[in-house]
Structure 1
Amino acid sequence: MSQKQSVTFKNRSWDVAATLRLPEGFDPAKKYAAIICAHPISSCKEQTSGSIYGEALTKEGFITLAFDASTQGVSGGEPKYSEDPGMRVEDFRCAVDYLVTLPYVDEDKIGVLGVCGGGAYAANVAMTEKRIKAVGTVVATNYGRMMRDGDMSPDAALKTLEAIGKQRTAEARGATPLIVGYIPFANQAEREKAGVNDVDMINAIDYYLTPRGQQPGSPNKLRLTSTGAALGWDAFHLAEKLLTQPLHVVFGGVPGAFGSYADGLELYRRARSTQKSIQIVPGASHYDLYDQPDATGQALSQLVPFYKQHLGL
């Protein structure tokens, strides 16, 4: 059986909470390849990044490290419930810093796997963090692009920036910080009443707000003012020049409003990597690749050999 350990590592002055998984038959005298597993936007380490992908990769012989993003889950950092791309990307660097201090991790065999927003963050950090030797993404979603798209209305991004500016002014003058939900509906009935029938929104509610995937570390809370930086951020900026590591991009064949289908194609196209592959899982939508056995099994059937090839397990 694999072993699980609750660990922490530092990002600036605070602790980032993580789960370190060690493979069956672990021998501290040996050297192992390690994979950092990054959760989706609004998620936590107990959900898909750790319980599905981290667990599966550990069973294949890898050490895995699934962490809660700074200010989210049980990680430290302020202000709480922030979604700041710069802070999120720095978490990955700090995760590498932690892994290279472990005597049983081979520092030349560290990879990363990110799901949804975590996938786009993973691709972004790999451009400037060359201690990462292989990059896998599952339904990678470019958070900056998604924020700019907003409600798809003309000038959606500009309207959002105006609203954020007004809220920052109010909070600077003493107003209570505005905490909103990543998911704008409390349940499916609210969604139906609003006339929203997109497959991604339906499944987001099902995954995050019902026992299917609900976890205490994922409370659907977002500090609105923290999102301003994302409006001017592109996860794939300079991928043509700097993303050189082996890359495997996975997404579902059923497009939805969150845009992981188009983002996956864009990431694959733009990456400079000479060794890159793309996998479109037939009939799968975004959230099927979080936890549905058939879809995740298909993803892992190519991710596992990808990491074994490029991390030399």
Structure 2
Amino acid sequence: MKMKSTRTCYIRTLLAVVVSLFFMGCASMTVGAQKWDKTFAKSNQVIQEKVSYPNRYGITVAADMYMPKTIDKSKTYPALLIGTPYGGVKEQGAGIYAQTMAERGFVAMAFDESFNGESGGMPRHVSSPDIFVEDFSAGVDFLGTRPFVDRNRIGVIGICGSGAFALTAAQVDHRIKAVATASMYDMSRVIRYGWKDGMPDEQRSKTLDQLGEQRWKDFENGSPLLPPGFPSEAADSIPEGLDPISSEFWEYYAMERGHHPRSHGPFTQTSNMAFMNFPLLNTIETISPRPILFIMGENAHSRYFTEDAYKMAAEPKELVIVPGARHIDLYDRTDMIPFDKLESFFTENLGR
């Protein structure tokens, strides 16, 4: 599929971005109830609590923790940490996964990446491969210190871009005992090499020159350039002229289906430099003997990321192809997301 330009690929094709209206400055854990602010209906089978905790950089990570309504906190349970699609927030797809897995007996937590959503970090809207990977380990820190969680039975689920971050975290964090990905995107690969690895070296060099110049401008302006993104209110239709991939993301993030006020804009432009210099999944084979479950849609534009990661990973591994599903359908289509498979995978590898 032909992209109009590198910038179009980064900004419009990926539409990968979160703009936050607030951030949390408290470094200590907080727990409490709050008005329902999700893009999906609340389940009466779970307990949901707002929590926050620091990562190793001292940034406060905000999360929603979901627990079975029948939880007995004198006992211990397996736990799951769920990362958002690249550009999403915990109130969207990641929350759907967390709530559904809590209905099935797991303690499950969806979180906002640093600098985004309700999480802390300045400047806002930064995307960082290193820190986004760290955020998974920080979530394991938090879950593993809850008295009702068995720290030896923690798994992770990564959706879209967080699929690669989850796998990268598992490469070095042996506390992660099992990994599942859905509609995975390898952001370091697509930003450095272009869509389907089609970026010429000359174009990459030119892009890096432009990003270097932008850093000087950002320094002089006192803040990084944030390109325009999603509308602040849900749109009624897809704008004319968008390529098929951009149209798909617009359908989810910009329209009623998945629109959320904290997920309506792009990451800072110079965030791309870090991804060009930080390859993810370089040692994916070292996750073995811990198991990996790869899930992708039959019609997903992103399926080549999952297919290639599956080939690189060592056993035990499994690939599930969801018939008829597009990339975004594995964000929120509960009739298509293979939750039975996710439940059996984590039950087998984490226990109940």
TM-score by length of 2: 0.81
Indicate which of 162, 166, 190 corresponds to 1:122. 166
Counterpart mapping for 1:136-285 below 5 A: 136-150=180-194, 152-155=198-201, 156-174=203-221, 176-181=223-228, 191-193=239-241, 196-198=242-244, 200-256=245-301, 260-272=302-314, 274-285=315-326
User: Aligned in 2, Cα 1:182/1:245: closer, same or farther, shift over 3 Å?
Assistant: farther
Distance 1:243 1:117 in 2: 21
Percent of pairs with identical residues:
34
Distance 1:47 1:77 in 2: 21
Which stretches in structure 2 are left out of the alignment for 5+ residues?
Answer: 1-44
Distance 1:284 1:217 in 2: 26
Contact 1:84–1:230 under 8 Å retained in 2: yes
Distance 2:334 2:250 in 1: 19
SS at match of 2:176: coil
- Aligned residue type for 1:179: L
Is 1:301 aligned to residue 340 of structure 2?
yes
- The Cα RMSD (Å) is 2.0
Distance 2:209 2:248 in 1: 30
Indicate which of 105, 108, 126 corresponds to 1:64. 108
SS at match of 1:295: coil
Which stretches in structure 1 are left out of the alignment for 5+ residues?
Answer: none
SS at match of 2:240: helix
User: Aligned in 2, Cα 1:243/1:160: closer, same or farther, shift over 3 Å?
Assistant: farther
Is 1:94 aligned to residue 138 of structure 2?
yes
Distance 1:291 1:75 in 2: 22
Distance 1:269 1:150 in 2: 20
User: Aligned in 2, Cα 1:267/1:154: closer, same or farther, shift over 3 Å?
Assistant: same
Contact 1:32–1:62 under 8 Å retained in 2: yes
Distance 2:336 2:206 in 1: 37
CA deviation string 1:211-268 (max 9, x = no partner)? 1101122122311112211012322111123454211000011142xxx201111111
User: Aligned in 2, Cα 1:228/1:244: closer, same or farther, shift over 3 Å?
Assistant: farther
- Aligned residue type for 2:304: A
Larger mean CA deviation between 223-232 and 155-164 belongs to 155-164
Distance 1:220 1:287 in 2: 18
Number of equivalent positions: 302
- Aligned residue type for 2:100: A
Larger mean CA deviation between 235-244 and 88-97 belongs to 235-244
SS at match of 1:29: coil
Higher helix share: 1
User: Aligned in 2, Cα 1:248/1:181: closer, same or farther, shift over 3 Å?
Assistant: farther
Q: Equivalent residue for 1:287?
A: 328
Counterpart mapping for 1:22-101 below 5 A: 22-50=67-95, 52-101=96-145
Distance 1:159 1:251 in 2: 33
Contact 1:5–1:19 under 8 Å retained in 2: yes
- Aligned residue type for 1:265: E
Distance 2:100 2:268 in 1: 33
- Aligned residue type for 1:281: V
Contact 1:182–1:222 under 8 Å retained in 2: no
SS at match of 1:220: coil
User: Aligned in 2, Cα 1:129/1:176: closer, same or farther, shift over 3 Å?
Assistant: closer
CA deviation string 1:190-214 (max 9, x = no partner)? 8533xx432x321200110111101
Contact 1:123–1:243 under 8 Å retained in 2: no
CA deviation string 1:152-210 (max 9, x = no partner)? 453343232222111001122336521024679x97978533xx432x32120011011
Contact 1:188–1:202 under 8 Å retained in 2: no
> How far 1:293 sits from its partner (Å)?
3.0
CA deviation string 1:89-122 (max 9, x = no partner)? 0101111111111111001100000100011110
